[in-house]
Chains A and B, each alone.
Chain A
């Protein structure tokens, strides 16, 4: 029998959503400070309205349910997370929409969803005349989304059911026994990278590129947040091609790879744990990135005669695609000419994505590795004598068992991603776009990458915008939380 959610259930959900909005208000202080420092009064007032709304909603939610009296279960966590990733973009839209740089509210919601899910596709208009404060807000929401909105809330507020909330957000690394300690470690890793990344980018901005210090710092902060959190928004319309600097691209590539690594791997490197190269996920990512780079570079020989340009462009674009970042050093028109093997290499790199429990999207390397491992085991079992016992193990921070249930779950999610990629491509084709460009854009949205061959634009049909918003949302949630929300809504309607 399907049970209708009780008033208590709704109160719990409101309580958690309220606290998450309080964290969004806190994140708004960065663009607000930037606006005040740059004397951008109108953008400051836009951010203030959003902060005010968040505080009001958070206060009201706390009053509805001042404190939990019962334990929150797994399904509550899933519903809260699924709702969070719909509500936060809606709130984050406020300063974007008020900036006047969007043709409609849906366009600004598209960019906010793209930012929060660290996708990086954008339909903003006249980005190059946007205020620094609004631009900083675009990048701040990428940072917040990449770190994990719920994880950010768990850093500030203790909550019963913290583990269910943490895992529902697509993270399964428990680096420390408590979720709070794990959250603090994730922030520590990010802040260390922020210090090194922003310093390196600022120095190259001032010395290598001859920008003023304040502009270099602005570019460095914005680019860091988009690179480490594999977001892909850029402060200028021409993305990373704006900088014309090979060193800047190298620094960004290092940050993108660091962002695509799981925080568990960061911890293992920090604690000098041995045997990391035997980890299934590390091996899988290295192999798939190597293959996609080679395939793409072979494909690009038909387009670029000069090897230096070919390698520099090919390497940067594939790393950006595989890590799910979406930065580009070539224009959308140029990327659309990457056909044949180059297209295949890029599309596969985007579809596979980074590591689990990282800021990257896509199917994720661990699932790919486990799927291949399960397939190999199945073939082996078919070839060996009937009663042969085969150990089904893999290495991932120690010896792990690959049982049938895990293999099934991994393959199901992988298949769901393939289905999501095809669904978006079908919508693109139905709207008059070609197969190659529809597939590229669909994979880019669903795997939270952000590279575009020119389909994503303000002039795109509404149905395409809505489809991509859905793809970005459900792809970031890795399906389960979205299904839980659908079940919750259904039980509200049909439950007893």
Chain B
């Protein structure tokens, strides 16, 4: 299957890349047409009986997630993609999330705005997929010792104050 997909990609030279925001803004223009999108696989791999479902994000965080960028620069944008069974390779690595920048892939397939065969779903039905860059870990920060110390201090002090209040309630004359 993987060989077929690679062959298919070679026989059909890469189409001009389309952003998922563009698909979202003008769905009628791309409906039932072949498109090529490129982005990060995010969230989960959905291994179903007949296919695999993934979410591809092509926002500014797809290459460099927020934790690495440092500065927020907008919200996420992406689209669901249906892949044929057997397409996802273990070498791609896990999908993107808190600890992982997911694999970057280029997907060519037919965009469906409201596919009657799938209950009116909006997605890209992939005919070819190419790995651009495998997943890689994100350097997530550890616990901040200053914050931990602050938390411990507040918990202890709060507990002492509550105990003192309880004692005063039980001994109003004291």
- The finding on whether chains A and B are genuine partners in a shared complex, rather than unrelated, reads yes
Taking a contact as CB atoms under 8 Å apart, the answer to whether A45 and B143 are in contact is yes
Q: Are B120 and A309 in contact (CB under 8 A)?
A: yes
Q: Which of A54-62, A146-154, A264-272 contacts B (4 or more CB under 8 A)?
A: A54-62
* Contact of A126 with B25 at beta-carbon distance under 8 Å, contacts A62-B162, A63-B165, A309-B120 already known: no
| Shortest Cβ distance from A46 into B: residue | B147
The B interface is mostly helix, strand or loop, or mixed, namely mixed
Interface: A333 (CB within 8 A) = yes
What is the interface residue range for chain A against chain B?
35 or more
List the B side residues contacting A416 at CB < 8 Å: none
Interface readout for A29-45 with B: 1 if CB under 8 Å, 0 if not?
00000000000111011
Contact indicator A42/B142 (Cβ below 8 Å)? yes
Q: Which residue of B43, B57, B80, B157 contacts A241 across the interface (Cβ within 8 Å)?
A: B80
Interface flag for A208 (CB, 8 Å): yes
Check A56–B114 contact: CB distance below 8 A: no
CA distance A209 to B47 in the complex (A): 7
Min CB gap A222→B, angstroms: 12
The one of B72, B80, B147, B161 in contact with A238, judged by C-beta atoms closer than 8 angstroms, is B80
A130 at the interface (CB under 8 A from B): yes
Q: Which residues of A contact B27 (CB under 8 A)?
A: 334
Among B9-17, B59-67, B103-111, B127-135, the stretch that binds chain A is: B59-67
A49, CB-defined interface residue at 8 Å: yes
CB distance from B145 to the nearest CB of A (A): 9
Do B96 and A45 touch across chains, with their CB atoms under 8 A apart? Answer: no
Q: Which residues of chain B are within 8 angstroms of A311 by Cβ–Cβ distance?
A: 120
Q: Contact: A304 with B114, CB < 8 Å? A: yes
> Which residues of chain A in 287-344 are interfacial with respect to chain B, using CB atoms and an 8 Å cutoff?
304-306, 308-313, 330-331, 333-334
Contacts of A238 on B, CB cut-off 8 Å?
Answer: 55, 76, 78-80
**Contact residue among B142, B154, B164 (Cβ-Cβ distance under 8 Å from A55):** B154
Query: Whole-angstrom distance between the alpha carbons of A423 and B119 in the complex?
Result: 38
| B residues in contact with A58, CB < 8 Å | 158, 162
A102 at the interface (CB under 8 A from B): yes
0/1 string, B88-102, CB within 8 A of A gives 1: 000000001110000
Q: How far is the CA of A333 from the CA of B28 in the complex (A)?
A: 13
User: Given A212-B44, A309-B114, A458-B74, A244–B123 Cβ distance below 8 Å?
Assistant: yes
Task: Identify which of A44, A53, A209, A242 gathers the most chain B CB atoms within 10 Å of its CB.
Answer: A242
Task: Tell me whether A44 and B143 are in contact in the complex, defined as CB-CB below 8 angstroms, given that A66-B165, A125-B66, A127-B75 are known contacts.
Answer: yes
Complex Cα distance, B56 from A291, in Å, reads 37
Contact A66 B97 (CB under 8 A): no
Q: Which of A45, A129, A244 contacts B144 (CB 8 A)?
A: A45
Inter-chain contacts of A125 with B (CB < 8 A) = 66, 72-75
Min C-beta distance of B56 to chain A, whole Å: 11
Report if A60-B158 is in contact (Cβ < 8 Å); known contacts: A52-B153, A244-B53. yes
- Residues in B whose Cβ lies below 8 Å from that of A244: 46, 53, 80, 82, 118, 121, 123
In the assembled complex, the Cα of A354 lies from the Cα of B52 at a distance in Å of 37
A contact residues around B77 at 8 Å (CB): 237
- B48 near A208 (CB under 8 angstroms)? yes
Asked if B148 is at the interface (CB within 8 A of a chain A CB), the reply is yes
Interface residues of B in 149-174 (CB under 8 A from A): 150-155, 157-162, 164-166, 168-169
With both chains docked as a complex, state the minimum distance between the C-beta of A28 and any C-beta of chain B, in angstroms.
11
A residues near B, CB below 8 A? 40-42, 44-46, 48-49, 51-60, 62-63, 66-67, 98, 100-103, 123-132, 208-212, 215, 236-238, 241-242, 244, 246, 304-306, 308-313, 330-331, 333-334, 457-459
The 3 tightest CB contacts between A and B, nearest first, are A309-B120, A59-B161, A52-B154
Known: A56-B157, A128-B78. 20 other contacts (CB 8 A): A41-B141, A45-B148, A48-B151, A57-B158, A59-B157, A62-B161, A123-B75, A126-B61, A128-B96, A131-B98, A208-B48, A237-B77, A241-B80, A241-B122, A242-B55, A244-B118, A309-B119, A309-B120, A333-B21, A458-B72
Residues on B close to A: CB < 8 A?
21, 24-25, 27, 42-48, 52-53, 55, 57, 59, 61, 65-67, 70, 72-80, 82, 96-98, 114-116, 118-123, 138, 140-144, 147-148, 150-155, 157-162, 164-166, 168-169
